[in-house]
């Protein structure tokens, strides 16, 4: 099961959720390493469910299967990305695999400086994909904080995490314990001594006392 990864190779969050144009939402803006246009990677293997080119080239990506959230929850995850200048290579129904570069930063729509607007929604894509919140801004349906949905790993360069506590994926540890030498069993080293050798085929009776052992070959 996939763990959704933060989609920017360089984490530099420039606007957090609940402030400014992100009021009453869990949206964040990430401007990448510098002022240039950086690529955005697919946080999970998913299907593009909606594209809205009339505003900020918003794209909704839904996980193809359930994913593992940082708190252990296993559910689908839908994410919305905005502000890419060119999305001509994208279409509804297109499949992208985890870590594939499929989107990019930009300034399309209401944006100052190259960045990517990112929102997470728990579960599958629903309705129109977003709703108008109490502050008059459109926000993804079933919104959830990004640090409650996305993991980070050592490939992500953290420049500014905005004090959000993203959970790190631990590397699989390989046991380095030395192999123990096998000790031959006592039965392999011990030669059994016969206590009676049958001279001819016949019927024999044996009287045993309680606790005595009998070995037959």
C-alpha dihedral over 20, 85, 9, 170, to 10 degrees?
A: 70
Give the residue with greater pLDDT, 82 vs 192.
82
Q: What is the pLDDT of residue 178?
A: 56
Residue 16 has pLDDT above 70, yes or no: yes
Q: How far apart are CA 48 and CA 152, in angstroms?
A: 22
| Overall pTM > 0.85 | no
- Domain ranges, ordered by start, for the chain: 10-168
Judging by DSSP bridges, how do beta strands 157-160 and 10-15 pair with one another? parallel
Give the residue with greater pLDDT, 91 vs 217.
91
Give the residue with greater pLDDT, 176 vs 112.
112
Judging by DSSP bridges, how do beta strands 58-63 and 77-82 pair with one another? antiparallel
Say how many C-beta atoms besides its own lie within 10 A of residue 188's C-beta. 7
Q: What is the mean pLDDT of residues 173-201?
A: 58
Q: What is the pLDDT of residue 171?
A: 80
| % of the chain surpassing 70 pLDDT | 80
Rg (the chain; Cα; Å): 32
CA 166 to chain centre: 12
199: left (phi over 0), alpha (psi -120 to 50) or beta: alpha
Residue 179 has pLDDT above 80, yes or no: no
Which CATH number applies to 10-168: 3.40.50.80, 2.70.70.10, 1.10.260.40, 3.90.1200.10?
A: 2.70.70.10
Q: What is the pLDDT of residues 131-157, one digit of tens each?
A: 999 999 999 999 999 999 999 999 999
Q: How far apart are CA 138 and CA 131, in angstroms?
A: 5
Q: How far apart are CA 172 and CA 160, in angstroms?
A: 27
Q: What is the pLDDT of residue 180?
A: 60
Residue 190 has pLDDT above 60, yes or no: no
Tokens of 154: 């050592």
Q: What is the pLDDT of residues 90-115, one digit of tens each?
A: 999 999 999 999 999 999 999 989 99
DSSP-derived 3-state class of residue 43: coil
Q: How far apart are CA 13 and CA 10, in angstroms?
A: 9
Residue 18 has pLDDT above 70, yes or no: yes
Say how many C-beta atoms besides its own lie within 10 A of residue 93's C-beta. 7
Mean per-residue pLDDT over the chain, rounded: 90
Residue 189 has pLDDT above 60, yes or no: no
Residue 163 has pLDDT above 60, yes or no: yes
């Amino acid at each position: 099961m996939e763990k959704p990864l933060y989609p920017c190779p360089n984490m530099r969050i420039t606007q957090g959720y609940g402030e400014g144009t992100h009021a009453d939402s869990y949206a964040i803006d990430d401007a990448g390493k510098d002022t240039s246009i950086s690529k955005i990677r697919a946080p999970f293997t998913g299907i593009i469910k909606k594209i809205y080119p009339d505003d900020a080239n918003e794209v909704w990506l839904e996980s193809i299967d359930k994913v593992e959230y940082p708190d252990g929850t296993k559910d689908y995850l839908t994410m919305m990305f905005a502000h890419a200048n060119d999305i001509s290579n994208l279409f509804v129904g297109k499949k992208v695999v985890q870590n594939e570069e499929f989107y990019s930063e930009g300034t399309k729509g209401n944006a100052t400086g190259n960045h990517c607007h990112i929102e997470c929604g728990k579960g599958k894509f629903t309705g129109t994909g977003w709703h108008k919140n109490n502050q008059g801004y459109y926000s993804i349906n079933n919104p959830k904080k990004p640090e409650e949905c996305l993991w980070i790993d050592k490939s992500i360069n953290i420049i500014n995490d905005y004090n959000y506590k993203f959970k790190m994926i631990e590397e699989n540890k390989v046991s380095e314990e030395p192999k123990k030498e096998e000790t031959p069993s006592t039965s392999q080293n011990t030669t059994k001594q016969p206590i009676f050798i049958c001279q001819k085929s016949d019927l024999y009776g044996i009287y045993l006392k309680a606790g005595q052992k009998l070995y037959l070959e």
